[in-house]
Structure 1
Amino acid sequence: MQGILRLLEADSQSRHDLAGLDLARFGLDKPRASVTFDGELTIDFGGTEPLAQRRYVRIGDDLHTIIDTFYYQIAATPESFVDPALLPPEAKIVRLVLPDLTLELKDGKWQRTPEHPELSADASIELVDAWRQTQALEVRPKAKLPETRPAGQAEVWLDGQEQPLRFTLLEDDDNIYLLRPDLDLAWQVTKDTAEKLLKLREEKQETAGKEEPKPEKTAK
């Protein structure tokens, strides 16, 4: 977003009165993109200058050329500005409700339902960390999702929040889509990544008092 705001400070490489000029010649008869600031100043983006590859823009009744770095930010889809992280920065998870598991932080320790006593405490920590660290391959609007199948629900409760972040889980053959119904946006991850978000890693907890291997007898 800061990059778009810097458009207001962009230097004009050239300036011409549009009166009598053919807008189509500059790609401004049907602008490729437009941005309006404060409901007043509108900048229309046209084609590029053949030699210097500067972008033609229309501001009011004037034709300008500017360096061609801003157009691609303006033309980007809105979802491309969405953070690919599943959770806000520095989010502190206090409860996770997953299709087959619930984790809740109590007295500094993660309590599991079901308990899975055969798994170590580290398995819970790793799962929670996966939610904090995972970056989506892509963020898509709900309307642009491929054909998917329901795969459950997930709730992420954050410290200090009265309501959880709710995700509807959708899947196709290769990916899982974590859809936020409140935003109509879905975070796309591979099924391998989704496995780390939804299931405990199956590393068995070492049993206390495990029998030590006996030394081999040597032949006399």
Structure 2
Amino acid sequence: MKIAIFIDAQGAIAPLTAPGTVTLYHPQPDGWQVCRTLVFDLSAVTSLAEIRERTLSMLAQLPGCRHFVAHEIHGAQLAWLDGMGLTMWQFRGTPEQALAAIVRQQPIPEEPVVVLPEAFIRPGTEEGEFYVDLIAALRCGGDHTSKRLLLPLLQREAFRRLELRCDHVPKWFSRLEGYQFAVSDENAARGELQVIVSKTAC
């Protein structure tokens, strides 16, 4: 079991709106051990879309993490974390205090919990429209493939349009019938493509 704690430069638990470091802890026989650290800073970010992208990208780098600790977690971030199956804890003080409190209040399972890829799928503005961050979904771990994630969306009776963030166009797209595709490589230098999939007009 792994627990992520957001810490400021002084080593105290920090709010997610401040600059800090996400520190991932893993239990060992002699106590908690740090197994990963990630710099995370949203203090200068004002776009909700960018906040979401950075938050999900950060979480994708924390495989096996089920608990997330910060001094404050509000609004959209709270909803995103909750939607990914994580338990949020709001604490003041030191990481050691938070870890001890979580162990007292929450049984720690032996099996790691993988972030659900469905957390990277969100509906569009109209019925049958979807946005999928395939890059983040495949990074979150587990036995997931693009076909397993996307085909159920495309086969929905109400499906109209899919906007896909990916690093390459899935090869199996070439075998799909009844759909049209538009590919934008505007962000190819960052390893990202935008693919729009829509049903071919009858």
TM superposition score category, shorter chain reference: under 0.3
TM-score w.r.t. length of structure 1:
0.22
Structure with higher Rg: it is 1
Task: Calculate the TM-score normalised by the size of structure 2.
Answer: 0.23
Which structure's residues are more often helix, by fraction? 2
